[in-house]
Amino acid sequence: MHSTHHHSRRTARPLLTLALTALPALALSPAAHATELADGIDVGASYTGESAWNVHGGQDTGGAYAGQFYAGADFDLDKLTGWQGATVHLKLSSRHGDNLSVDELGNTTSVQEIYGGQGQRLANLTLEQHFLGDRLIVEAGRTVANIHFLGSQLCNYFQLNAACGNPTFVFHTSSFTWWPVSSWGGHALAWLTPTIYAHVGAYEVNPKQAQDGEHGLSWSTHDATGVVTPFAVGYKTTAASARLPTMFEVGGWYDASDYQDPLLDANRTPAALSGNDYATRSGGRSGWFVRFEQQLTRPDASGDRGLTVFGNVLGPGRGALQEDWFFDVGFVQKGTFASRPHDTVGFVYTQQRYSDEALENLRLSRAASGGSGTPHASQPMMELSYGIQVTPALRVQPNVIYDIHPDQFGDPSRTRNLPNAWVVGLRVDLQLTDALAAGVREAIGAGR
């Protein structure tokens, strides 16, 4: 997940190739007319840019910028071909920029959640099928785990990667697949009652897909190292079914893929002492989570203004892991003043606690480089943001992030602790859906 500048100079061919992957979804009935085509294709597009400046503490002062252009389409096969309950989802991502955490901050938890999987990629190409009157939903194809599990719309109001797009613990302790690095996978969601559901998925773990130069178009499983299987049961109400919507969920995951031991080599000697490679373990990692979201106020039943609180707790199951536990808690207030009904205020506090094995490895690595002592056992991070809805399409969100005890996993040989860091950020979200939809309608009309 490191920055690559050379991708931006090679965009035309990969983007053309990505666009061609949409063709199977357009194999429509000859009887389909332009109006039916337009009604059956729901497009979306956006650009998100995240600037971050380390103004005090950390490894060095300085700034970084990361951005993502997103375009996607949902093809309703019922309207387009008469295939009831079926939809094809196509999502493309183009990411660019730098990572402040690597370049200046000196930790491994990014303060730009949009960074990672740089370049142009096919992020999702799946077929979704509804059964039993929409009580069972199955989706499979080229996809990622973190858009189906442990995600939240509240992440739109933050920039800190510790909490968003998903709690960072799951990525530090498993091979949970993440946007936009797609691989084979799928999930099934069953609504047991109108408010209670069960959810399970399975996703190929293929580290090669995250490498520079990959675009999500190599679909071989030759380099796969295993499968990660998330699962959850939950209770959920919506703004349409309850005055104050609620979500409560418990679940976990089992990761059967290979992974690196955080301390030992193949001879069960600390690798920092022996100089050998860290041992490769064969699967067996697991973890659990509990999370909730609760809207507390809603002054207007026809809108979504109000205060929502949320929290996540994640812990280990089995396996040699880098972290022992993680939690976050926060709130989002939608509608800050009577004159600013679409502005938001958000705050989140996160804390990750490292395992004894991971801390011993850091202590030994530091000692081998001439340092002494053990790095801090946990890393609290927090963010305060204010979102300004400038126009219906443009949202600007300044934020302040405080990182206490920046971790040392990116540079185990560092001989001293880094000072706490203050980061000033700016997130910009530009919705481009209307422009893309107009282009699609024009193209369909021209083809009549």
- φ, ψ of residue 166 to 5 degrees: the values are -145, 160
Tens-binned pLDDT, residue by residue, of the chain (448 aa) = 443 333 333 433 444 444 444 444 444 454 445 566 678 999 999 999 999 999 999 999 999 999 999 999 999 999 999 999 999 999 999 999 999 999 899 999 999 999 999 999 999 999 999 999 999 999 999 999 999 999 999 999 999 999 998 999 999 999 999 999 999 999 999 999 999 999 999 999 999 999 988 999 999 999 999 999 999 999 999 999 999 999 999 999 999 999 999 999 999 999 999 999 999 998 789 999 999 999 999 998 888 899 999 999 999 999 999 999 999 999 999 999 888 999 999 999 999 999 999 999 999 999 999 999 999 999 999 999 999 999 999 999 999 999 999 999 999 989 999 999 999 999 999 999 988 888 777 777 776 5
Structure tokens at 346: 């958000």
Residue with tokens 């290979």: 258
Question: Locate tokens 């007319």: which residue?
Answer: 33
Q: How far apart are CA 441 and CA 20, in angstroms?
A: 19
User: What is the model's pTM?
Assistant: 0.90
pLDDT at res. 284 = 87
Two tokens, residue 161: 């990667």
Positive/negative CA dihedral, 362, 172, 256, 288: positive
Residue with tokens 């996160």: 350
Q: Are 380 and 405 in contact, with CB atoms under 8 Å apart? A: yes
Give the pLDDT confidence of 350-382 residue by residue, as tens digits. Answer: 999 999 999 999 999 999 999 999 999 999 999
Give me the long-range contacts of 374-377 (CB less than 8 A, separation at least 24): 375/405, 375/407, 375/408, 375/417, 376/405, 376/407, 376/417, 377/353
Q: What is the rounded CA–CA span in Å between residue 160 and residue 314?
A: 17
Residue with tokens 């089992």: 254
96 within 8 A of 66, measured Cβ to Cβ:
yes
pLDDT at 301: 86
What's residue 436's pLDDT?
Answer: 83
Residue-level pLDDT at 248: 98
Alpha-carbon distance of 6 to 27, in angstroms, equals 35
Burial call 92-121: b when 16+ CB within 10 Å, e when fewer: bbbbbbbbbbbbbbbbbbbbbbbbbbbbbb
DSSP 346: E
How far apart CA 332 and CA 423 sit, in angstroms, is: 20
What does the block give as tokens for 418? Answer: 């880094």
CA-closest candidate to residue 126, choices 135, 115, 134, 137: 137
SS3 123: strand
Two structure tokens written together for 206:
């293929």
Q: Which domains does the chain have, with CATH numbers?
A: 6-299+429-446 (2.40.160)
Q: What is the pLDDT of residue 271?
A: 96
